[in-house]
Amino acid sequence: MYNSDVLIIGSGIAGLSTAIHLAQQNSKLSISLISKSYKEECNTKYAQGGIAAVWDLNEDDLNKHIADTLDAGADLCDEKIVRIVIEEGPSRVQELINWGTRFDKINNLNYDLAKEGGHSERRILHYRDLTGAEIERALLEKVSSFPNVKILEHYFAIDLLTQHHMGYNITRIMKNIECYGCYLLNLQNLQVETHLAKITVLATGGSGQIYKATTNPIVATGDGIAMMYRAKGHVENMEFVQFHPTSLYNPSGENPCFLISEAVRGFGAILKTKKGEEFMHKYDARLSLAPRDIVARAIDSEMKLSGDEFVHLDCRHLEKNSFIDHFPTIYNKCLSIGINPLEQYIPVVPAQHYMCGGIQIDEMGRTSIKNLFAAGECTSSGLHGANRLASNSLLEGAVFGYRVAQDIGKTIDNIQLNTIIPEWDAHGTNDPKEMVLITQSIKELKDIMSYYVGIVRSNVRLKRAMDRLHLLYTETESLYHTTTLSPQLCELRNLITNGYLVTRSAEMRRESRGLHFTTDFPAKNIFLQDTLL
């Protein structure tokens, strides 16, 4: 058994921000931060476009950023949360800068603010097309300066510890569920360790890997969301899966798909059909810079009409040196597959990119389970509603990392460690005989989600997905109860739970709104919310 005051699961912007703020507040707290892979491997590292914050008060103001966020969210954002995040955003970005993050400047003076889809002003701070990697670098460097933060790489969180592990019957409608830490699979020796904590924080990122084509790295398997659901905590808005309009078309099925940042369209690139004709005027007056749900659906519709497997992004008219300077990674990636983006069209397709729903949290990152907080992409905070505005996600991670730390600081002294949780019991399980059962089920899951629960949905498709998911679920649960644990099996289980949550939530929403579009209910509607049980 191991214990700490605070156990943070996840080493992206949300987890690291929480750890740094906590450590700054109180050097006596013991803080463990775990990552299932190398500490830098997370969605944060892959972020390209940047972080949105109102910076130039001569040109922009907080109300405009708030209005853009609410507009993208299709009437489902929580306005109070939107205000909090956008008003606190500039301070959190200033902190990132103070902690060593570099953002591009024009002539070494003012920040070079970029524009992305759905933003009415230029307000995206970025570091070339490597913003996430730069933020992750700076945060890891900063966190390493605190001796009371212990980083554990290659530890896989399996399940949250609650009264269930003390033999009590727990249901989703109970209000007094408590969290006491987590069972962790040590990936170096495949032993399960019990990690007790006064407070646990889920900062486990998104679940893009439920789809065949996603920009998310392979660690994005929705583990935190699945753990929360299994622990009978509240999860919501899972039908709102964001597809990025422009991932690089790659017939070899690269995982993850390489992203062609929206900032490229903000820089002037134009979407065209394979024949070279512009089409966005048919869908939205903001053309290639309309919010993502609109652009992704427009591309999907053009591809279905023409039968083409991709559309084109035209960058040929853009200024060469400036393009290479802003987008060196994108430029080099295109060259590596034989496309010079300044002379040829870039073939692009939509790919899963972001999970707007997740663990329900309040304005301080508190979940429905006591002593359990959550921050970042694994949450549903109310910021994104039915569709996230570009570059608001890094901002959300930084703001909620800070808020979670503030709330923990106020309450932790009154919490005792629970020391009567039993060790993991592996009796009755055997080593897996055929790993192919797991890898094949993951492929099946991705097929189900991609064909039946993608950009355009219908009752028949969702029903078909549900039936097939049920079979996968039954097979996998039986494997789980008879097999020694492997990260692959844990991830499969979590992916199926996320697939179920997305599909079930999509079935329950009998309207089209934001990222959820169904041919059976094509309009926005007055909607009676069912509860996910």
Which amino acids are annotated catalytic? 292
Nearer to ligand FAD, 361 or 466 (CB): 361
Place of tokens 């990260």: 487
Whichever of 52 and 462 has its CB closer to ligand FAD, that residue is 52
Told to check if 55 binds ligand FAD by CB under 6 A, we report no
Q: Per-residue contact track with ligand SIN, 34 to 73, x per CB under 6 A?
A: --------------xx------------------------
Q: Give the full edge-to-edge strand order of the sheet including 346-355.
A: 241-248, 346-355, 311-314, 270-272
Site for ligand FAD in 105-134 (CB under 6 A): 131-132
Q: Which is nearer to ligand SIN, 258 or 354 (CB)?
A: 354
**Cβ contacts of residue 207 below 8 Å, gap of 6+?**
216, 220, 221, 222, 225, 355, 494, 495, 498
Site for ligand FAD in 170-209 (CB under 6 A): 203-205
Q: x/- binding map, residues 262-291, to ligand SIN, per CB under 6 A?
A: xx----------------------------
Q: Residue 213 has what DSSP assignment?
A: S
Collapsing DSSP to helix, strand or coil, 141 comes out as helix
Residue 339's identity, in one-letter code, is I
CB atoms within 10 A of CB 321: 8
Which pairing describes strands 346-355 and 311-314: parallel, antiparallel, or unpaired?
A: antiparallel
Nearer to ligand FAD, 111 or 156 (CB): 156
Note whether 136 binds ligand SIN by CB under 6 A.
no
| 35 is a contact residue toward ligand FAD (CB under 6 A) | yes
Opening angle at CA 355, ends 128 and 154, nearest 5: 75
Contact between 497 and ligand FAD per CB under 6 A: no
Stretch that binds ligand FAD, among 67-75, 386-394, 461-469, 515-523 (CB under 6 A): 386-394
Q: Which is nearer to ligand SIN, 231 or 263 (CB)?
A: 263
**Beta carbon of residue 521, minimum distance to ligand SIN (angstroms, whole number):** 27
Q: Return the sign of the alpha-carbon dihedral for residues 300, 306, 312, 314.
A: negative
Distance of alpha carbon 502 from alpha carbon 517, whole angstroms: 13
284 to each of 156, 298, 302, 312, 451, how far by Cα in Å? 44, 9, 14, 18, 26
Minimal CA–CA distance to 190: which of 227, 151, 154, 152? 154
CB of 261 to ligand SIN, least distance (A): 3
Shortest CB 264 distance to ligand SIN, Å:
8
Q: Which of 68, 159, 223, 293 binds ligand FAD (CB under 6 A)?
A: 223
Tell me which residues in 225-264 interact with ligand SIN (CB under 6 A): 261-263
Cα gap 36→202, rounded to integer Å: 13
Whose tokens are 């964001």? That residue is 242
Q: Which is nearer to ligand SIN, 159 or 396 (CB)?
A: 396
Q: 77 or 259, CB closer to ligand FAD?
A: 259
78 interface partner picked from ligand FAD, ligand SIN, none, CB below 5 to 8 A per type: none
Decide: 26 and 198 in contact? Cβ < 8 Å.
Answer: no
Nearest Cα neighbor of 100 from 22, 20, 10, 205 is: 20
Q: Which of ligand FAD, ligand SIN, none lies near 76, with the C-beta cut-off 5 to 8 A by kind?
A: none
Residue 530: both structure tokens together? 């069912």
- Closest approach of ligand FAD to the CB of residue 452, in Å: 23
Q: Which residues here bind ligand SIN, judged by CB under 6 A? A: 48-49, 261-263, 354, 390-391, 393
Residues lying near ligand FAD in the complex (CB under 6 A) = 9-15, 34-37, 42-44, 46-51, 131-132, 155-157, 203-205, 215-216, 219, 223-224, 259, 354, 376-377, 391-394, 397
